[in-house]
Structure 1
Amino acid sequence: MKQSRSNTPNYLKYLNKKKILQFIRDNDQISRAEISVNLSISKPTVSLIVDELLQEGWIFERESNESSALGGRKPINLFFNKNAYFLIGIDIGGTNVEVGIVNLTGELIAKGQLLTQAALKKDFINEICTTVYSLLEKNNIGSEFVMAVGVGAPGITDSNQGIVIDAPSLGWINYPLKHKLEEKIEFPVYVDNDVNIAVLGEQWKGQASNKDHVILITLGTGVGCGIIVNGQLYRGSAFAAGEIGYMVTDKNEAKEEYDHIFQGYGFLDSHVGGPSIVKRMEMHLQNVTYDHPLKGEKLTAKKIFHYAINNDPLSLQVVNETLEHIAFALVNVICIFNPQCVVIGGGISKSGKWFLPKVQSIIEKHLPIRTDIFVSELEGLSLIGAGALVLREHESLLKEKGVI
């Protein structure tokens, strides 16, 4: 009789090992007997596998502070070793590249940074790899304790091949990022769109913790959208799901000529991104006859939001136009995907507590579906998300289908 992989002794042992490790991780401070009862695995099998996990460093054991109910020897409890291995996260942005070390429970251990445009003028990949190894050395982490590398790229990305199909801010078209990195670094590399890894970070450790239907909207230079459906990233047939920067939120204005903030950017990008806010404010200031405090200033979206929050009429007008476009985009996204929650991230989101009620009032007017909307509060979101990507994609005992 021909055996399938699923019923061979070695594979059954692997499945049991995986179940036991994940059970210890989810139920820290647990005994061998409790594992056996809860997982319906024989005590000898549990003992054998636990000894292997101890030897490999995945777990550690410690004597309990209290004796058992029957007295006598204190029980030995098992604990998940969150620092058994580490995950490298890389977030490539148009301005900065961030590199981080994340442990197995999603804690950001260390972070480094380099300037994107300066690195692009040199050997970009070598600059990133040098930063990775420097960070490991500073934190006394040997290469043998690194599981893999997760990378977020700012553009449409073929996550299967690790190819960045189109990243306007970097000038990349069909750039083989995974291959380039693996030529110079000794760890497996997994690549995805930067907003996709950000939504994984929110689902793992942020506002959307353990939810199966999540939308993350990032507001920065442009607009990005990460989508999780049934616990899985939704990437689309050509890896372009979530490119809502091309969404039209005013058909009349779309019929007319409007400024594309950057070549390749869409309607929504050109109406709610930071540069578009600055450009609209500059246009309004040209027509102002009185001495406005922002006249002659170097404008940023952050500065304009600051003045809007302090009730400057001109800044409020510009910001309210932006918020309307954001709100109508969210109406469309929510009614299509019906998520449990929407998380708003990116630079503009730092003013989220002020503008969220304005956005919610528009959504509630046009949409009967109740959806929680949060502002992201997770520090190192994309680096943690890159770690989450590794745990989902890398062939290890911690790989799971669905929520990490």
Structure 2
Amino acid sequence: MGRLTGGDPSLLRRINSAVVLYALRAADSATLTALVQVTGLSRPTVEGVVEGLIEIGLVAETAAEEGGTRRQGRPARRFRFRAEAGHLLGIEIGSHRIAALLSDLGGRTLDSEQRPVDETVPADERLERVRTLVAELLRRAGVARRSLRAVGVGSPGIVEADGTVRLGTALPGWTGLPLGERLRRSFRCPVLVENDANAAAVAEHWKGVAVESDDIVFVLAGLSPGAGSLIGGRLHRGFGGAAGEIGALHLLGREATPEALLSTTGKPLTPLDEAQVAAVFALARDGDGQAREAVDRFIRRLVHDVAALVLALDPQLVVVGGWAAGLAGVLEPLRGELARYCLRPPQVALSELGEAAVSTGALRLALDHVEGELFTVEGTVTGRQGRPPVRGTSP
């Protein structure tokens, strides 16, 4: 296609189509008269655009409402955005579980599936289990694979713009894995791969505790904690996609690893062994002195690491998620530490989405991609979506 100019009729048609479609997506249904009023376009233009959108399956005519009549007494034609015209997937690939959410083009969740997986499972087998889980989810929901318009994926590690995992120590064989490319072969649609903490931050901003906050830090707490941040409502990845890797801060002059901090025997816990971690916290809740000291050490480290990130970013809200979100002892020490150092301490809250945060954020990335295709034309956005830009490539 040649370069489009300001007077290019093809560009104008595409802009008009995006404007009308955006207006229809924002309403349950609308008449031509209402669309003319909302878009500012002429009635013949709106009518032509709507007919074109019906032809490609993105719009459908609905039954007229009672009392909605034209001057001639005939019911006014009403139209709606066909959210069922395609589907989206949000996938979490974690150390101990894989999960997926299926939605329509409006982002409404239709079904979900999750399964446990051992942290020692090799990369190829882990990906095969993802494919099997998705196949079962689509089969149960009666959705054809060809109906998928985009897939979002949240995974541990530092992720390149093309979906390659540059560094991923939490999963075997993950470093250097071309995750986006591998999954695009399976799904035959755009696949957006993101760090799991980043995806969780997007999720809390979309449907969780951070809906009203545009400057947030989401802490995915664990033995190797990570953080995702939104600045002005936009996901901050950093130059190399490694922003928020607070799990590496112990390397800056600190010899004790998180596994050592949580030990009650003098021997570090096995890296990423959540069962051992859960056992230590259970002992602490039951009053075991050594376990309580270990948990206190871990919480102090986590609090200091989060405080360092907060001082750099000055967020409005800090959201704590991951398995540490269930610890009653996390929030107050964090609030106290931030009050000591911050001119205006941020709010601190637990995640509202819990274990669904990563897959929900991955789904939002897929939805952002489709919204960009439907509602953005040559850099002209038809409506204020207020969401972070997506990244990834089409197959």
Q: 1:56 to 1:3 in 2, by over 3 A?
A: closer
Q: Secondary structure at the match of 1:212?
A: coil
Q: 1:277 to 1:106 in 2, by over 3 A?
A: farther
Once the two structures are TM-superposed, the CA of residue 31 in structure 1 deviates from its matched residue by 3.1
Aligned to 1:367: 342
Amino acid of the structure 2 residue aligned with 1:230: G
Q: Secondary structure at the match of 1:222?
A: coil
Q: 1:121 to 1:216 in 2, by over 3 A?
A: closer
Q: Secondary structure at the match of 1:89?
A: strand
Structure number with the bigger relative contact order (C-alpha 8 A, sep ≥ 6) is 2
d(CA) in 2 for partners of 1:180, 1:256: 38
Amino acid of the structure 2 residue aligned with 1:396: E
Aligned to 1:167: 168
Aligned to 1:9: 9
d(CA) in 1 for partners of 2:15, 2:40: 13
Q: 1:129 to 1:247 in 2, by over 3 A?
A: same
Once the two structures are TM-superposed, the CA of residue 312 in structure 1 deviates from its matched residue by 5.4
Q: Secondary structure at the match of 1:247?
A: helix
Aligned pairs for 1:257-296 (under 5 A) are 257-258=255-256, 270-271=257-258, 275-276=259-260, 278-279=262-263, 281-283=264-266
Aligned to 2:35: 35
Once the two structures are TM-superposed, the CA of residue 77 in structure 1 deviates from its matched residue by 4.3
Once the two structures are TM-superposed, the CA of residue 3 in structure 1 deviates from its matched residue by 6.4
Q: Name which of structure 1's ranges 182-191 and 59-68 shifts more when overlaid on structure 2.
A: 59-68
Q: Name which of structure 1's ranges 238-247 and 77-86 shifts more when overlaid on structure 2.
A: 77-86
Q: 1:20 to 1:219 in 2, by over 3 A?
A: same
Aligned to 1:137: 139
Amino acid of the structure 1 residue aligned with 2:265: E
Aligned to 1:387: 363
Q: 1:391 to 1:54 in 2, by over 3 A?
A: same
Aligned to 1:102: 103
Q: CA RMSD in A?
A: 3.3
2:379 paired with 1:403:
no
Aligned to 1:212: 214
Q: Name which of structure 1's ranges 335-344 and 122-131 shifts more when overlaid on structure 2.
A: 122-131
Q: Secondary structure at the match of 2:230?
A: strand
Aligned to 1:290: none
2:60–2:79 contact (8 Å) kept in structure 1: yes
Q: Name which of structure 1's ranges 389-398 and 140-149 shifts more when overlaid on structure 2.
A: 389-398
Aligned pairs for 1:80-91 (under 5 A) are 80-91=81-92
Once the two structures are TM-superposed, the CA of residue 220 in structure 1 deviates from its matched residue by 2.1
d(CA) in 2 for partners of 1:104, 1:282: 52
Q: 1:23 to 1:302 in 2, by over 3 A?
A: farther
Query: Identity over aligned residues, as a percent?
Result: 25
| Consecutive unaligned residues in structure 1, runs of 5 or more | 259-269, 285-297
Once the two structures are TM-superposed, the CA of residue 322 in structure 1 deviates from its matched residue by 2.6
d(CA) in 1 for partners of 2:345, 2:94: 33
**Aligned length in residues:** 370
Amino acid of the structure 1 residue aligned with 2:156: P
1:24–1:30 contact (8 Å) kept in structure 2: yes
Aligned pairs for 1:229-268 (under 5 A) are 229-247=231-249, 255=253, 257-258=255-256
1:92–1:116 contact (8 Å) kept in structure 2: no
d(CA) in 2 for partners of 1:204, 1:168: 28
d(CA) in 1 for partners of 2:137, 2:6: 40
Once the two structures are TM-superposed, the CA of residue 196 in structure 1 deviates from its matched residue by 1.7
Q: 1:78 to 1:245 in 2, by over 3 A?
A: same
Aligned to 2:324: 348
Q: 1:106 to 1:393 in 2, by over 3 A?
A: closer
d(CA) in 2 for partners of 1:306, 1:116: 22
| Consecutive unaligned residues in structure 2, runs of 5 or more | 268-273, 389-395
Aligned to 1:324: 300
Amino acid of the structure 2 residue aligned with 1:340: Q
Q: TM-score, normalised by structure 2?
A: 0.81
Aligned to 1:24: 24
d(CA) in 2 for partners of 1:333, 1:113: 33
Aligned to 2:47: 47
d(CA) in 1 for partners of 2:216, 2:253: 32
Aligned to 2:392: none
2:113–2:133 contact (8 Å) kept in structure 1: no
Once the two structures are TM-superposed, the CA of residue 333 in structure 1 deviates from its matched residue by 1.9
Q: 1:75 to 1:276 in 2, by over 3 A?
A: farther
Q: 1:359 to 1:5 in 2, by over 3 A?
A: same
Q: Secondary structure at the match of 2:107?
A: coil
Once the two structures are TM-superposed, the CA of residue 156 in structure 1 deviates from its matched residue by 0.8
d(CA) in 2 for partners of 1:256, 1:14: 57
